[in-house]
Amino acid sequence: MSGTIITRCDDLPEPKELAEAYELELQSQNGQPIRFGELVAGKGVHITTVVIFIRHFFCAYDQGYVRVVSRRLTDSLIIIGCGDSQRIVPYVSETEAAFPIYTDRTGKIYEKLHMKRTRSHATKPPSYVQISFFGALGKTFKQMLRSGRQAGKCVYVHRMEHVSDHLTADQLLEVLSHDEPAETK
């Protein structure tokens, strides 16, 4: 991570918004409900849970991102998508994700945390993806056709401004390195 400098942290959710988000229900891969707060809040002072929200389970760019992050991160991480919980198992297979994945069928958590819906920059693949825009589009359609269908304190947020604006794995590792307990730095 030499030379990596994090220059942007988006506005953190208001405490009330975060508390409301913690009450929202997600689904596991077998369709079992679980509150978002059970996954991230109250884990202890020195436990960091990274939450990555993906656009949808078919997005080739997000799949590339999850592949890179899964290979690089060892901290507690969860991935939240939107759509049917039956898409989680194929997503894990496609991305080799090493972390738990949940889904919000309603999209309420995305709204509550002020995430954007945009296709801006969609034709410019992110740097970590080894696929062209048209390759990603083809892969997305192919998958769609095959499928049939800190102690709870938020300390850092990155909201994508456009399709290829993921925080890089190096940038995420840099953020996490600033969140370690003092005795382990």
Task: Give the model confidence (pLDDT) of 82-94 as tens digits.
Answer: 888 888 888 788 7
Over 60: is that where the pLDDT of 171 sits?
A: yes
74 token code pair: 């060892």
Across residues 105-117, what is the average pLDDT? 82
Assess if residue 110 is contained within a domain: yes
The rounded mean pLDDT for the chain is: 71
The rounded percent of the chain whose pLDDT value lies above 70 is 57
Assess if residue 7 is contained within a domain: no
Across residues 158-170, what is the average pLDDT? 70
Residues sharing a CB contact under 8 Å with residue 121, sequence separation 6 or more, in sequence order: 162, 163, 164, 165
Range of the domain at 93: 15-118+128-169
Contact call for residues 178 and 36 (beta carbons, < 8 A): no
102 token code pair: 């949940």
pLDDT tens per residue across span 9-68: 667 788 898 889 999 999 999 999 999 999 887 666 655 678 888 876 767 777 777 777
The segment with the largest mean pLDDT, out of 73-77, 95-99, 136-140, 159-163, is 95-99
Looking at residue 107, which CATH number applies to its domain? 3.40.30.10
127 token code pair: 């740097």
What is the per-residue DSSP string for 55-102?
A: S-TT-HHHHHHHHHHHHH--SEEEEEE-S-GGGHHHHHHHHT--S-EE
184 secondary structure, DSSP code: G
Across residues 137-155, what is the average pLDDT? 52
Residues sharing a CB contact under 8 Å with residue 146, sequence separation 6 or more, in sequence order: none
Model pTM score: 0.61
Longest dimension (CA), the chain: 51
Assess if residue 9 is contained within a domain: no
Across residues 139-157, what is the average pLDDT? 54
Assess if residue 37 is contained within a domain: yes
Assess if residue 40 is contained within a domain: yes
Assess if residue 10 is contained within a domain: no
Assess if residue 151 is contained within a domain: yes
Q: In the prediction, which pLDDT does 181 show?
A: 38
Assess if residue 87 is contained within a domain: yes
Question: Taking the chain, what is the end-to-end CA distance rounded to the nearest angstrom?
Answer: 15
Confidence band (pLDDT; 50, 70, 90) for 185? very low
- Is the C-alpha dihedral spanning 112, 114, 119, 125 positive or negative? negative
For the chain, the domain total comes to: 1
